[in-house]
Amino acid sequence: MKRFGTFLIEEGVIDQDGLQQIKDEIDRSVTEAADIALASAQPAPETVTRYVFSADVDPTSKEFDTEDKLELSGNAGTMVDLINRCLHTEMARDPRIVVFGEDVADCSRDRYLETVKGKGGVFKVTANLQRKFGSERVYNSPLAEANIVGRAIGMATRGLKPVVEIQFFDYIWPAMHQIRNELALLRWRSANDWKAPVVIRVPIGGYLKGGAIYHSQSGVSTFTQIPGLRVVYPSNALDANGLLRTAIRADDPVLFLEHKHLYRQAYNKSQYPPDDFMIPFGKAKVVRAGTDVSIITYGALVQRSLVAAKQAEQEGISVEIIDLRSLSPYDWNAIAESVKKTNRVIVAHEDSQSFGYGAELAARIANELFEYLDAPVRRVCALDTFVAYAPQLEDAILPQVADVAKAISDLHAY
């Protein structure tokens, strides 16, 4: 400040008396603010959970539930197709939406747009958004995740709706400070005076046969334990479309996780829903009804659990599968209802077992549903190590159909 003040005087911007007046005014303002703060009453204990999330827009409410009146049309599309369609329709609906991230644009320089095929992200999820909505609303960012999230926070506080992309979950960590200490708690620490309803799209997960340690991570529990942050994880194209639309229309920060292995799988394709199709957060889906064993799962383990359940059916074991779809919040009522029916439960996920997301579910089931259990809660998860490059090692590290099938058989026989 000393050098800056000297610079202003030397440049003739202000004289010494004017500079001192500014300093005195600032000192008075700080002193007055401190006096007001010291004289204020301490907040009541019951206010501590106020404004963790928006009090005006509730993405878990019926207002966001349109599944019952769903009508599909057109040819079946992949998860990439339906996410891309959602981004197109939402950007047309809301001019406040801006999309940016590493390589998300079709072309960095407008003058080449008509002569190149265009990129639209490394997975083509944002293809043709720049062509349709222009470079002021869709553009590439520096290769700096903290820059992406930090800029999105600033834009959101000014009334825009950033829907940004972190190219791979494995590189989200440089933005962790921005996410944990700025984005998620802005509303709470300002008592609802400020908000930053940013959507962060993140390709995640393994089963890539060579993705290895920098393209296969699945550390979701690091983010689900952050208050103020919604975390969503669809397992199929239709859910991805409806959940993303809810994320965009919500008023809270949302981490939207898209499993790379699921992007173009034929088994999770869907025809296209209407442009107002939404799925509320915290609403799980029973993807397979059963009576003997419950599997609580999400992401890539949904399909693996379905295959294992069909194998178990040959042994006379009836397996129910619950796809959580959103991880924070999650649908406790659906979990409890299933466990009360089957009395045996497996929590299956791609994350490591120790300190993973399933540990919270297993603990709560054991605590609140103990009297309904006829066997211990079983977890099927990745090993407590990193995802290796060699395919045979990746298969051993990540949970496979055989692992789920064995858990079903062992738990049923308990």
Q: How far apart are the first and last CA of the chain?
A: 72
**Cα–Cα distance between 383 and 311 in angstroms, integer?**
23
Amino acid identity for residue 121 in this structure: G
CA–CA dist 96, 88 (Å, integer): 13
CA distance 211 to 227: 30
- Complete edge-to-edge strand list for the sheet that includes strand 161-165: 138-140, 97-101, 161-165, 199-204, 254-259, 230-232, 326-328
At 13, list the tokens: 């911007």
Of 184, 141, 183, the C-alpha closest to 166 is: 141
Taking the C-alpha atoms of residue 303 and residue 287, their distance in angstroms, rounded to an integer, is 10
* Contact yes or no for 164/99 (Cβ under 8 A): yes
Bridge partners, 134 (sequence order):
none
Instruction: Round to whole Å and give the CA distance between 84 and 90.
Output: 10
Enclosing H/E stretch for 259: strand 254-259
Q: Which amino acid is at 397?
A: I
Distances (CA, A) of 286 to 15, 30, 53, 76: 73, 57, 27, 22
- 88 an active-site residue? no
- Strand residue runs (E) in 324-389: 326-328, 345-352, 378-382
DSSP state of 106: S
Instruction: Determine which one of 215, 259, 349, 412 is catalytic.
Output: 215
Q: What does the block give as tokens for 80?
A: 């990439």
254 strand-pairing partners: 199, 230
Known catalytic residues are: 215
